[in-house]
Structure 1
Amino acid sequence: MIRHLVLFKLNDGVSRDEQRVLDGVKAFRELGGLIPELREWECDWNISDRPNAYDFGINSAVDDLDALKTYAVHPAHQAAVAVWREFATWVIADFEV
């Protein structure tokens, strides 16, 4: 199994309550039920207020590299990423478990 982690940082001046951000959160929350390759799907706002903390996180799992590639190009995933690209940056880690 591969664990896929993503941490998002909102761009300067962007707040969590902006409609475009709310739309982006909704798009990610729905992915777990839309992409069959996802074995696990969790996402939500970070509750830490530490200075180096990111704002939003995704913790997910897929069976193998082929499933990860399928997830990455899935139209629903690509649409959600396009929304977030407008107001955030992110880092990714994928590792075998």
Structure 2
Amino acid sequence: MITHIVLFKLKNGIERSAPDVVEAEKFARAVGSNVPELIDWRVGWNTIDRDISYDFAVIGVLPDLAALEAYQANTYHQQSVQKWRAISDWVVADLEDM
């Protein structure tokens, strides 16, 4: 199993209520139903504001590395990536269960 974690930080001056952010969130939430390789998909806004906090997170669970590669190439996922790229910076971690 692979747990795919992405933490997003909105770029300076961009608010959660901005239309581009609302659209990016909508796409992120729908990735789970548009990428068949995903076993589980969780998304949401950070609830506690700290200096080191990121703003939004997605966590996906996939059966293996081949599924992760298919997820990354998925057209709907790539559309979501483009929307987030315009409004945020992010970090990624892919954890392999042993």
- Length-normalised TM-score, structure 1: 0.98
Q: Aligned AA for 2:33?
A: G
User: 2:12 is matched with which residue?
Assistant: 12
C-alpha distance in structure 2 between counterparts of 1:64 and 1:80, whole Å: 22
Could you tell me which residue of structure 1 aligns to residue 30 of structure 2?
30
Q: Quick one: which amino acid aligns to residue 25 of structure 1?
A: E
Ranges in structure 1 where 5+ consecutive residues have no aligned partner? none
Match of 1:74 in 2: 74
Number of the residue aligned with 1:3: 3
- Whole-angstrom CA distance in 2 between matches of 1:9 and 1:48: 14
For the residue of structure 2 that corresponds to 1:31, the secondary structure is helix
Q: Percent identity at matched positions?
A: 41
Structure 2's unaligned 5+ residue stretches are none
TM-score by length of 2: 0.97
- What does residue 96 of structure 2 align with? 96
Alignment of 1:56-75 (within 5 A): 56-75=56-75
Equivalent-residue separation in structure 2 for 1:80 and 1:33 (angstroms): 13
Which runs of structure 1 show a deviation greater than 6 angstroms over 4 or more consecutive aligned residues? none
User: Per-residue deviation at 1:59?
Assistant: 1.0
How many residues align structurally?
97
Number of the residue aligned with 1:55: 55
Once residues 96 and 8 of structure 1 are traced to their aligned partners in structure 2, the CA distance between those partners, rounded to angstroms, is 21
Q: Distance in 1 between matches of 2:46 and 2:63?
A: 26
In 2, Cα distance between equivalents of 1:19 and 1:69:
30
